[in-house]
Chain A
Amino acid sequence: MNFSFTAEEEQLRAEVQAFLAEHFTDEVRAEYAAGRRGEGWGPLVRDFYDKVSQRRWFAWSWPVEYGGGGGTRTAQFVIEEEFYRATGIILGGGTGAPAILAFGTPEQKEQFVPGAIRREIIFCQGYSEPGCGTDLAGIRCRAERVGDKYIINGQKIFTTNAQSATHIFLMVRTDPNSTRSRGLSILLVPMDTPGLTVRPLWTVQNNPKAPFGTTYGEERTNEVFLDNVEVPASCLLGEEGGGWDVARRGLNLDRVGAFRYLMSVQRDEDIVNWLQAEGELQDMLRDDAQVRDKIAEMWTEAEVCRLMTMRSISIEQHGGKFTYEGSAEKVFAPEHSVRSTEAITQILGPHAQLMNGSVDAIEKGVFAHNLLGAYQSTINHGSVQVMRDQVARNGLGLPRPAK
Chain B
Amino acid sequence: MDLLLDDQEIEIKEAAAEFLAGECSPTLVRKVEGDATFYSLDLWRKFAENGWLQLCLSEDVGGQGLPLSYLALLFELAGKNIAPIPLHATMVPALVIDQYGSAQQRERLKDVMAGQLILSHAVVDRLGRWTTERVGVEGKVEGDQLVLNGVKGFVDAFPVSQQCAVIYRDADNGELGVALVPTDAQGVSQDTLAPMAKDAEAIVHFDNVRVPASARIGQPGDQGAAAIRMMDLASVLYASQMAGAAGHTLAMAVEHAKERVAFGQPIGAFQAIQHMCANMLNAVDGTTMLAREALWRMDQKLPHRMNVAQAKSFANEQCMMVCRSAQQIHGGMGFMLEFDLNLWYRRVGSWSLRGGTSAEHRRTIASVLLDKVGQVRIGTVPNAI
> Number of contact residues on A: which range applies?
35 or more
Contact B3 A307 (CB under 8 A): yes
Of B4, B275, B286, B377, the residue contacting A307 (CB under 8 A) is B286
| Residues in chain B near residue A324, CB distance under 8 A | 281
Q: Specify which of B1, B277, B377 lies most central, judged by the most chain A CB atoms within 10 Å of its CB.
A: B1
Number of interface residues of B (CB under 8 A): 62
Of chain B, the residue at the smallest CB distance from A399 is B269
The interface stretch among B56-64, B109-117, B347-355, B359-367 is B359-367
Q: Are B277 and A4 in contact (CB under 8 A)?
A: no
Asked if B3 contacts A3 (CB within 8 A), the reply is yes
**From DSSP, what is the main secondary structure of chain A's interface residues?**
helix
- Report chain B residues within 8 Å CB of A5: 1
Whether the pair A385, B370 counts as a contact (CB closer than 8 A) is no
Chain A residues contacting B2 (CB-CB under 8 Å) are 1-2, 74, 314, 317-318
Once A1-B69, A295-B369, A296-B369 are accepted as A-B contacts, the answer to whether A268 and B378 lie under 8 Å apart by CB is yes
Stretch at the interface among A157-165, A222-230, A241-249, A270-278: A270-278
Please tell me if A178 contacts chain B, counting CB pairs below 8 Å. Answer: no
A262, A269, A311: the one within 8 Å of B3 (CB)? A311
- Chain A residues, Cβ within 8 Å of B302: 4
* CA distance in complex: A296, B381 (Å): 13
Give every chain B residue within 8 A of A74 (Cβ-Cβ). 1-2
1/0 contact string of B313-334 vs chain A (CB within 8 Å): 1100000000000000000000
- Whether a CB of chain B sits under 8 angstroms from the CB of A204 is no
Chain B interface helix/strand/loop/mixed = helix
B270 nearest in chain A by CB position? A401
Query: Quick check: which of A132-140, A206-214, A389-397 contacts chain B, the rest being far away?
Result: A389-397
| Residues of chain A contacted by B364 (CB below 8 angstroms) | 296
Docked-complex contact B369 and A1, CB < 8 angstroms: no
Say which one of A45-53, A104-112, A118-126, A297-305 lies at the interface with B. A297-305
Is B278 at the interface (CB under 8 A from chain A)?
A: yes
User: Which residues of chain A have C-beta atoms less than 8 A from B373's C-beta?
Assistant: 276-277
Report if B219 contacts A (CB, 8 A): no
Q: Which residues of B contact A306 (CB under 8 A)?
A: 378-379
Which segment, of B124-132, B141-149, B257-265, faces chain A?
A: B257-265
Q: Contact between B366 and A331 (Cβ–Cβ < 8 Å)?
A: no
**A292 to B363, alpha carbons, bound, how many Å?**
7
Question: How distant is the Cα of A307 from the Cα of B3 in the complex, in angstroms?
Answer: 8
Check A303 against B296 for contact (C-beta < 8 Å): no
Q: How far is the CA of A226 from the CA of B270 in the complex (A)?
A: 38
Q: Mark A60-100, 1 if CB is under 8 A from B, else 0.
A: 00000000000000100100000001000000000000000
What are 23 sample pairs from A and B whose C-beta atoms fall under 8 A apart? Answer: A1-B69, A1-B72, A3-B292, A261-B378, A268-B378, A286-B370, A293-B359, A293-B362, A296-B365, A296-B369, A297-B362, A300-B310, A304-B314, A311-B3, A388-B278, A388-B279, A391-B277, A392-B275, A392-B277, A396-B278, A397-B254, A400-B269, A401-B270
Chain A residues near B (Cβ < 8 Å): 1-5, 9, 74, 77, 85, 261-262, 265, 268-269, 272-273, 275-277, 286, 292-293, 295-297, 299-308, 310-311, 313-315, 317-318, 324, 328, 331-332, 385, 387-389, 391-393, 395-402
Given contact pairs A3-B296, A3-B297, a sample of 14 additional A-B residue pairs in the complex whose CB atoms are under 8 Å apart: A1-B72, A296-B309, A296-B362, A300-B362, A304-B289, A305-B378, A307-B289, A315-B4, A385-B271, A389-B278, A395-B281, A398-B254, A398-B269, A401-B270
